[in-house]
Amino acid sequence: MSSPDTATQTAADGRPAQGGLDAFFGLTENGTTIRTEIMAGVATFLAGMYIIVVNPAILSDAGIPFSAGLTATVIISFLGSLAMGLYARNPILIAPGMGMNALFTYTLVEGAGVPLEIALGCVFWSGVIFVILAVFNVRQIIVDAIPANMRYAITCGIGLFITFIGLKNAGFIVSNPATLVSMADLGPSVLTFLAGLALTGAFVARKVPGALVLGIAATTLLAIPLGRMWGADTAVVWDGLVAGPDFSFMFQVDVIGALNYAFWPFIFVMLFTNFFDALSCFMGLSEAAGLKDKDGNPRNLKQSMSVDAFSSIIAAPLGTSAAQTFIESGAGVAQGGRTGLVAVTIALLFLPFLFLSPLLELVPAIATSTVLVLVGLFMLAPVKKVEWERYDEAIPAFLAVILMPLTYSITMGIAYGFLSYVVIKVLTGRISDVKPAMLVVAALCVLMLATV
């Protein structure tokens, strides 16, 4: 009798009989079992489920109600991950992306004053273009056009930007008329945030499964005395345990208004960020897990990119920023996950949270801020790949990194990074390093700077 872990029955000749889950996902072909795939799905879900709380918290700063943001987050995570498992058959989590939500809320809506419905329209059109690029498989042209050092730098810059947002939302960094920003007084709220950050950091350092989620929970518990036993405002308020999904912000998207040429640069920045995040994630995971086709390319890359792109289109009418691949999928890969059954498991684990918005609204800003700070740290990993000794590459990369948090705009960091890259290459006689597509990108950046 075959092991209950296996996905197939055993035929008379001793070979696995093709059928059921094995035939669909290729479990035997990938050397894995149902149990391994499900456990890998649980591991990835625990690593990435912080987005269920953090994404609605960020969207609420843009004006989307927390409960509506939660509903949108869960639905798009379910649909995207399910499609990744059933269509692309890769062990990858799809959910509203960190960086994309910050770009949407703090750069477009708060920073540039783009109306919320039009900002969602920009998400939609960036997804449409992403679909076209994915379907026609033109990724190589785009990859070759954007210098690798700039791609690494942009990821790092977004990380610093997210960390800065976390510190600001926690009240640790405050405005100061003399120095622009400064550290806040060490009151009860700030001390609670620092304690939560220390605990969360310890969980991460000890590689505890679900470290970020545990950190959010621990910080929330620490925040209960605020406004009760200690000073500061009340941070944790009980409003119940369960409630039905909130569809109040669904289809609040202005697709036509977003086509105004003034918003094209924002659409481009969203497209660029999502496209390269997805491509980098797929390539990294394929290397780590050996998920490659016979030509040595990432397995089912076209299908995976298409799922990511369609998820971004669907995200806008649902009422959230673009969905994308999560590098936290590496947690499941490390547990032996190799097939789409991992992503299907992840999708199903999201569904119960549709009905837990009152419970999740307990989480205060100082708790989600600990995650933002540490996600920023994780996104700084590519900094070691930048060729810092090559100044014609390092100067544009540095400007992209430092200007994102200092201008409070991912868009501005990318624009000045790209423009400085072209200018420095021209002035140093290395214009041959600049691909024609990069010149088009630089022209788009000039257009954006002229219109914002």
With a cut of 70, say whether residue 143 has pLDDT above it.
no
Model-level pTM? Answer: 0.80
Non-local (6+) Cβ contacts of 76 within 8 A are 94, 95, 96, 311, 314, 315, 318, 320, 323
Which residues does 92 contact at the CB level (< 8 Å), separation at least 6?
A: 81, 84, 281, 282, 285, 304, 325, 326, 329, 342, 343
Average pLDDT over residues 389-407: 93
Largest CA-CA distance found in the chain, in angstroms, rounded: 81
Whole-angstrom Cα distance, residue 235 to residue 329? 32
Q: What percent of the chain has pLDDT over 70?
A: 92
Q: Which residues contact 278 (CB under 8 A, 6 or more apart)?
A: 304, 305, 308, 324, 325
| pLDDT confidence band for 1 (50 / 70 / 90) | very low
Specify the DSSP class assigned to residue 292: B
User: Which residues are CB-contacts of 434 (< 8 A; sequence separation ≥ 6)?
Assistant: 421, 422, 425, 426
Residue 17 pLDDT greater than 60, yes or no: no
Query: Are 374 and 196 in contact, with CB atoms under 8 Å apart?
Result: no
* Strand bridging mode 94-96 / 323-325: antiparallel
Average pLDDT, stretch 419-427? 94
Q: Which residue has the higher pLDDT, 425 or 285?
A: 425
Share in percent of the chain as helix, strand, coil (round to 5): 65, 5, 30
* Side-chain half-sphere CA neighbours of 210 within 13 A: 13
CB atoms within 10 A of CB 180: 8
Structural tokens at position 354: 């549709």
Token pair for residue 324? 């994308």
| pLDDT score for 9 | 45
**Helix, strand, or coil (residue 349):** helix
Residue bearing the bigger pLDDT, 16 or 259: 259
Residue of higher predicted confidence among 3 and 300: 300
Helices (H), 210-263: 211-223
The pLDDT score that the predictor gives to residue 14 is 39
Query: Could you give the CA distance from residue 91 to residue 338 in angstroms, rounded to a whole number?
Result: 6
Closest CA to 427 of 395, 399, 387, 388: 395
In angstroms, the CA 322 to CA 154 distance is 17
335-346 pLDDT tens trace: 788 889 999 999
Residue-level pLDDT at 294:
74
What is the tens place of the pLDDT at every residue in 20-60?
777 788 788 878 889 989 998 998 898 888 999 999 999 99
Give the pairing of strands 173-176 and 94-96. Answer: unpaired
Contact 322, 274 (CB under 8 A): yes
Residue of 381, 51, 39 lying closest to 216 (CA atoms): 51
List, for residues 62-80, the tens digit of each pLDDT value.
999 999 999 999 999 999 9
Q: How confident is the model at residue 128 (pLDDT cuts 50, 70, 90)?
A: very high
Tokens of 78: 């379910």
Q: Give the mean pLDDT of 190-198.
A: 95
Angstrom distance (rounded) from CA 401 to CA 11: 58
The pair of structure tokens assigned to 419 is 């423009």
pLDDT, average across residues 100-109: 90
Mean pLDDT over each residue of the chain, to the nearest integer: 85
Q: What is the pLDDT of residue 329?
A: 85
Count of C-beta atoms within a 10 Å radius of residue 354: 19
Mean pLDDT of 256-260: 92
Q: Return the pLDDT at 392.
A: 94
pLDDT confidence tier of residue 388, bands split at 50, 70 and 90: very high
pLDDT band at residue 105 using 50, 70 and 90 as cut-offs: very high
Phi, psi of 174 (to 5 degrees): -130, 165
**Mean pLDDT score, 411-427:** 90
Q: And the tokens for 306?
A: 């298409």
Contact in structure between 93 and 348 (CB atoms under 8 Å): no
The better pLDDT of the pair 238, 263 is held by 263
Percent of the chain surpassing pLDDT 90: 37
At 163 the three-state DSSP class reads helix
Question: Whole-angstrom Cα distance, residue 33 to residue 62?
Answer: 43
